[in-house]
Copies of this chain bind each other. A is one copy, B any other.
């Protein structure tokens, strides 16, 4: 049996504990801030294609309630500890979850069980890039909620973990200057990772092609502070599927597509040209499709200006900018076999705890399946060294 190094996972998820905003918001905002209620009057809320119904005839469960939102955690996003034949589609309450979903000590124990030394966790209720707050009416409250999330993330979730939980902050996406300020505030206390939307245009925000350079203050702050921009699949609040009656496996197979759209955006946006120190990392999109996409991008780039648009004609071919781009895999044998394209130093690893796609608690068995593709040095880079270098974690 090959020795598997301790893992640094750059894509896990935290289920925010019910006390988060009630403890970390300034007291004047707490009454209106996000809180958890069990049942109550019927509220229906639609996000994307999903309809959430609070109370009424549905099963009793826990609801996040905040402004116009009533939202329940979905079982498949908090299913650690359940076998696939126990999964269900629909809400899950806190008491049905494994405590590692929301509790620091329990999480550390679950990581330990799985050979994971350190973990970067994306938000759940705020959505993968904090889009929830960008969509709310009261922006003063929303900004306070973003900052409260980050204070909790830094001081409680990461702060109580003895360095094992890596802080990932969110920003007020509706104001790039405020976002830049929040990046600097968090960088000042050691944070090196910020969540961003892979497809901001799909959330009603300017895209990274915006001719006025809407996002430039944010990107400049990230570049100046060494803060890495993390984009999770679905962080554009968009999932690609073929048709409404396609089985879930079709959508599940196609989850890489929004990341592919984002990668094409970044390669032809000019952002990586303007900010050569900026580094970005795509979470859960894996990498096996990147060699084809980047080859295609290079070939269109060679065809000249008709294809590039104002920012798209970069001085070097798109593939050159992979030096600023990192991928994240969990079981991508084709991607690892094709690692020369992305570059062995730019491939990171994830366990995706506690989502249905997670390899927990058998991540080492998953690693053993693809480990034969890699040398010991390469395996160590993918499982830990690249992540530690990217986020300046030392050793």
Interface residues of A (CB under 8 A from B): 84-85, 87, 89, 199, 201-202, 207, 209-211, 240-250, 252-254, 256-257, 260-262, 264-265, 267-268, 286, 288-289, 291-293, 295-297, 299-301, 303-304, 306-312, 331-335, 338, 341
Let me know if A286 and B292 touch, CB within 8 A: yes
Copies in the assembly, this chain: 2
Given contacts A247-B311, A249-B300, A252-B296, list 11 more A-B pairs with CB under 8 A: A84-B303, A207-B243, A242-B264, A242-B265, A247-B268, A247-B307, A247-B309, A249-B308, A289-B293, A299-B331, A338-B338
Given that A300-B253, A307-B247 are contacting pairs, would A199 and B242 also be in contact in the complex, using a CB cutoff of 8 Å? yes
A249's nearest neighbour on chain B, judged by CB, is B307
Contact, CB under 8 Å: A261 / B240: yes
Give CA–CA (A207, B243) in the complex, Å: 7
Partner of A301, one of B199, B249, B264: B249
Q: What residues on B are CB-neighbors of A241 within 8 Å?
A: 261
| Chain A contact surface mostly | helix
If A268-B249, A309-B249, A334-B292 touch, whether A244 touches B304 (CB-CB below 8 Å) is: no
Q: Is the CB of B240 within 8 A of A253?
A: no
Is the pair A264, B256 in contact by a Cβ cutoff of 8 Å? Answer: no
- Among B209, B289, B311, which residue has its beta carbon within 8 angstroms of that of A289? B289
Name the B residues within 8 Å of A286 (CB-CB).
292, 296
- For A198, the closest partner residue in chain B by CB is B242
Give Cα A262–Cα B332 distance, bound, in whole angstroms: 21
Is there an interface contact between A268 and B296, defined as CB atoms closer than 8 Å?
A: no
| Complexed CA–CA distance, A282 and B121 (Å) | 39
A248 contacts B341, CB within 8 Å?
no
A249 x B334 contact (CB < 8 A) = no
* Contact residues in B for A85 (Cβ distance below 8 Å): 304
Least CB distance, A202 to chain B, in whole angstroms: 8
